Amino acid sequence: MKLILIGFGVVGQGFAQILRDKAAELLREENFSAQIIGVATASKGALYHAAGLELQSLLEAAQAGSFASYPEQDGLIRGLEVDEMIAAGDADALVEMSPTNLETAQPALDFCRRALDAGLHLVLANKGPVALDYAGLKSKARAKGLQMRYEATVMAGTPTIQLAVDALAGCQILSARGILNGTTNYILTRMEAGLSYDEALSEAQALGYAESDPSGDVEGWDAAGKVLILANALFGRSLALDDLDVSGITEITAADIAEARAAGQRYKLIASARPDGGAVKATRLPLDEPLAGVGGSTNAISLKTDLMGDITLIGAGAGPLETGCAILSDLLAIQRMPSAT
């Protein structure tokens, strides 16, 4: 399978590491072989080689900060635009891993549409296109006989979408609620251990859990984007951010944490999706509720079903190898079911 990658930050590099390290195993056990033939980034440059880029050299160039250090080879093209990579006709799938834009989903959304028009399957770690145009992309993929897969957009490699859509096929999912942002969960966990909000945030930033501008996480918008994806995938609802009730954890104080503890409760930032809408809100949970026991940067989701009752899935919600694993899983699913949509 020949791949074009949009974005090559920590997630793209994690995915490339998996392909490098598991190549023999994947070929032996899954008859799966993948070649990255194109990589386009905003900061490192762009590389294209129809016969495949060398993974170790690609990783070394990325870690050096620029593809300028990628070694010359016959057939290598530097600086090719994404549209030109797609139009070349050599690729089987586009993997979208560029930074998420929840306002317009651009430029990733246009890349996704053009890839489908050109006959490429679509795998996304970028939440924007799935959150803002799920129905349009899904319809276009179906009309073209292609697959659009997006496991990495909700809980990284923890198989949330596969559980809900595939493993629970036959069940009606009544609602979904969970801890879908590891940064806020880490901060609340550390506040319960005695740190102030500012101290916990600084610690999360030092550990790489939070960005220098953490507003997308702590104000609830990252989790809100995942609610939009769940609403589409589980309930066929094309919601917008304005349709959701969204708040974060910035107003939670040490006194609030202590008051909850005294009542046998614990604060969690809970994202919820239902057939009639969704929300993101800091919520006090009883300690015996499964989500209340999920600490640190771990994510979790509880699905309420008609046949199986409540099912709770707990796992990593971020990380280069974890998210790269979701991308690989989606590509393997495409190979196994080439005609499915």
Enzyme catalytic residues: 226
Classify each residue of 81-110 as buried b or exposed e, where b means 16 or more C-beta atoms within 10 Å of its C-beta: ebeebbebebbbbbbbbbebbbeebeebbe
Amino acid at 291: L
The phi, psi pair for 56, rounded to 5°, reads -65, -40
Chain-centre distance for alpha carbon 129: 11
Helix axis angle, 127-144 relative to 108-117, nearest 10°?
Answer: 10
Quote the CA–CA distance of 96 and 152 in Å, as a whole number.
10
Quote the CA–CA distance of 285 and 296 in Å, as a whole number.
16
Q: Are 21 and 55 in contact (CB under 8 A)?
A: no
Q: Are 320 and 10 in contact (CB under 8 A)?
A: yes
The phi, psi pair for 314, rounded to 5°, reads -125, 135
